Structure 1
Amino acid sequence: MTPLYYAISAILVAWHWMFVNILQMDSAGGATWVLSIIGLTLTVRAALIPLFVKQIKSSRNMQLIQPKVKELQKKYGHDRERLAQETMKLYRESGTNPFASCLPILIQMPIFLALFRLLDHHAAKSSGIAFLTDELARSFGEAKLFGTIPITASFLHSGGVLAVQVLAAVLVVAMTATTFTTQRQLMSKNMPPDALSGPYAQQQKLLLYVLPVVFAVGGIAFPIGVLFYWTTSNLWTMGQQFYVIRNNPAPGTAAAKAKEDRDREKALKHGTVVETVVEEPEPERRPQQRQQPKKQSREKRKKTSGPQPAPKPKPEGGTHD
């Protein structure tokens, strides 16, 4: 964890220096250190944007190949080994990494633990580490929000201060709600209907309900400062995902249809597209053809017409009485 201590403490101390020297905030104030934690969160999340883009692409590919995955399950459902081989082959051909969706949270966990350690151990005991000197660690550990809430306290270790438990409970609820909303937003708006019934959908549903419970249970033991970090990170994720779903949704989803409607309305509003009603042409009326008589044989024609009268002989000159 030593390299992480240096990285986290450098960013944290840099934000603290900026708030104290540029904005003239109290060096030992709780608001100064909370804002420094929020600045640390924003810096970390900005650095993770490339991984988030990779996560979005991987999640989209996972959604789009779900029909093919179902076909493989029907074809090789009796052979688990062959099914796994063919599924991995499909992932490689489509450029999909099923574990890419977990990269941002997996990388954040060590950072989260490093910050937890800085607050819970070094700041609480005024023991500096890396760029967090003993003096800064003492200031960090003694900082209080609103003059009564130590940012190193937690719901379980509130020191008998009711305000600590109230603020911790509010932050835990906010952290849980933002986690649930982010996952729910992904499933309801940016997943095609075919992807809502496969194994990938089951995985997403599991995360939808399990992650908030994990954060809610674990959150009561987190220091106030760590709760600010995680809640801010969740808000960033929710906003970032909302932007991506709104502007670059997966094909065949509710978000894609909503974007098409918005683009059409925008085009009509700016006059770039003229909406016209195309009337269907009436069917062409062809002149009725005269019905041709049926062909008849010579004998049948004779029977129909009857015996013809013999022609009268021409007189050979003069007139006869």
Structure 2
Amino acid sequence: MALIYAGISAILLFWHRAWQLVFADTARWGTDWSWVLGIVFLVLTVRVVLFPIFVKQIKAQRAMQALQPQIKALQDKHRDDRETLQKELVELYRTERANPLMGCLPMLVQIPVFLGLFHVLRHLKPAMPEHLKTLYGWTVTQFDSASSATLFGAPVAASFRSTGAELAVLGADGVTVRLVALILIAMMVVTTYLSSRQMILRTGWAEEPQQRMMQRLMLYGIPASLLVSGLIFPIGVIIYWVTTNLFSLGQQTWILHRYPPPPANGTTETAPATPGGSPPASAERKPNKRR
């Protein structure tokens, strides 16, 4: 993990130095823009690097969707023989050059990046011993500057649940920190919901009840969980998350236009027709028509 922390720090420090040429060390509107934009451009750097992998993921998903009729036929044929079913599926994937694991790759790559940034920002504490400030390629001057960086008066290293003692060390006002944190948490929840909803639009609503339940869990459960976990995230991490979601929304808009989901049962189920992302009534009735 030390290599990941060092890599995250190197990208963050690079963009900080770049934006420092524009803003110097002057805080405007209570914000150290060179550090805040450093976090934003850290996201953009990671996502641009991952973009080719993301395109491969979409192509893999479309290939898997095209194979669904054959997969369903194999599942029906070998319903009582799991071993044969697995062999037949592996052979099908090999023949059609489809990779069901490719859909998870971009997410798996982003997890260590998120955890790395979380650790680095949690590490930024003014009272940190000097020999620990120089970990991961930082200088003492850079560490002290980052640990005191603020967004509209709230330190990026603080969180909604920062204690009075922690805020005193950061020289921060508790009301300001909580207000900024709450606004960012709300943005994180909303953009996560929109991103999850758009992800479902990429593939369409599943007809299988269990799969549809998982889609609804992703649509509503993940944003709801962020209401709790967002309280402990440093403000800098929430900036990272919101920026990631905004990038995802733009990226997925392009993907939906460039690689539209294939028609399902003669129609393309492209958007939930009811508020909050529920599947259309016609989609709810399809399984019953087949019985």
How far 1:128 moved relative to its partner? 2.8
**Per-residue CA distance 1:115-173 (angstroms, 9 max, x = gap):** 111111144544232332111111111112223x1111112216471232232222223
**Per-residue CA distance 1:194-253 (angstroms, 9 max, x = gap):** x54387666544433443344333222110001101110111111101111113313326
Give the aligned partner of residue 39 of structure 2: 37
How far 1:67 moved relative to its partner? 1.7
Aligned mate of 1:111, from 101, 110, 113? 113
Give the aligned partner of residue 16 of structure 1: 16
Question: Does 1:145 pair with 2:151?
Answer: yes
Give me the whole-angstrom Cα distance separating, in 2, the residues matched to 1:158 and 1:41.
28
**Per-residue CA distance 1:53-93 (angstroms, 9 max, x = gap):** 11111221222222222112211112222222222322222
Change (3 A) 1:167 1:19: same
Give the aligned partner of residue 263 of structure 1: none
Give me the whole-angstrom Cα distance separating, in 2, the residues matched to 1:233 and 1:72.
39
Give the aligned partner of residue 281 of structure 2: none
Bigger relative contact order (CA 8 A; separation at least 6): 2
Give the aligned partner of residue 279 of structure 2: none
Aligned residues of 1:171 and 1:228 also touching (Cα < 8 A):
yes
Given residue 250 of structure 2, which amino acid in structure 1 is its aligned partner? G
Give the aligned partner of residue 175 of structure 1: 188
Aligned residues of 2:148 and 2:155 also touching (Cα < 8 A):
yes
Give me the whole-angstrom Cα distance separating, in 1, the residues matched to 2:163 and 2:185.
14
Give the aligned partner of residue 90 of structure 1: 92
Q: TM-score, normalised by structure 1?
A: 0.70
Give runs of aligned pairs for residues 60-209 of structure 1, distance below 5 A. 60-126=62-128, 127-147=133-153, 149-157=154-162, 159=164, 161-188=174-201, 190-191=202-203, 196-197=207-208, 204-209=215-220
Runs of 4+ in 1 over 4 A off after TM superposition: 123-126, 198-206, 253-258
Q: TM-score, normalised by structure 2?
A: 0.77
Larger helix proportion of the pair? 2
Given residue 203 of structure 2, which amino acid in structure 1 is its aligned partner? M
Change (3 A) 1:173 1:68: farther
Alignment: residue pair count: 255
Give me the whole-angstrom Cα distance separating, in 2, the residues matched to 1:69 and 1:202.
21
List runs of 5+ in structure 1 lacking aligned partners: 259-321
Give runs of aligned pairs for residues 217-296 of structure 1, distance below 5 A. 217-252=228-263
Give me the whole-angstrom Cα distance separating, in 1, the residues matched to 2:111 and 2:86.
29
